[in-house]
Amino acid sequence: MLELIQAKGYSGTGLNAVNEHAGTPKGSLYFHFPEGKEALGQEAVELAAARFGILIQEAAAQAKTPSDVIIRAIDILAAMLTESDFQLGCPISVVTLDMGAEGERLRTTCAAAYQSWIGPLTEFLTSCGHSGAAARALATTVVSTVEGAIIVSRAQHSVEPLRLSAQVLSAFLDSGVTISPEKGSAA
């Protein structure tokens, strides 16, 4: 389902398509996911969150500067986009956008997925000398910017939005500028 969500969206992914894509009998899907599509969607979002979380953790473990994390993550995301001919995007953003205000179960799953990326990035930025509040604000901004850049890259059929976002985020994070999230301003 994860691949289908990335390519067709949550709303555009029916259970029959999931069965066909997985090559499984119809009954097995309902056996493993008796709560239906929403439960399967939740599982797909959690899987995607875990996979990207590992990417962030590995990038942070090898990074010397915050820009190293950004560049490594963007390189992987840009490759995913180009290799799929811009058909695959982030399944978390796709589900978030598809479900709108409906589906509290999926909304909270998507929120937890984003938090699972913001948390480790916050810890890394804290280890680089940012205060806890500033690190969280920066991590949230990075995740939000990258998610938006993926969407714009798909629309433009180009990784340029991702690359430009990486340049701007890297320059900002490595500049030593501190922020005061309480006031919403840069210092």
Residue 177 CA to residue 9 CA, distance in Å, equals 38
Residue 73 CA to residue 55 CA, distance in Å, equals 7
Tens-place pLDDT, residues 41-84 = 888 889 889 988 888 888 888 888 888 889 988 998 999 999 99
Tens-place pLDDT, residues 122-156 = 998 998 888 889 999 999 999 999 999 999 999 99
pTM: 0.82
Determine the pLDDT at residue 64.
84
In order of their start, the domains of the chain are: 44-186 (1.10.357.10)
Residue 10 CA to residue 56 CA, distance in Å, equals 24
**How many other C-beta atoms can be found within 10 angstroms of the C-beta atom of residue 80?**
16
Residue 77 CA to residue 71 CA, distance in Å, equals 10
Burial class (CB in 10 A: 0-12, 13-18, 19+), 127: exposed
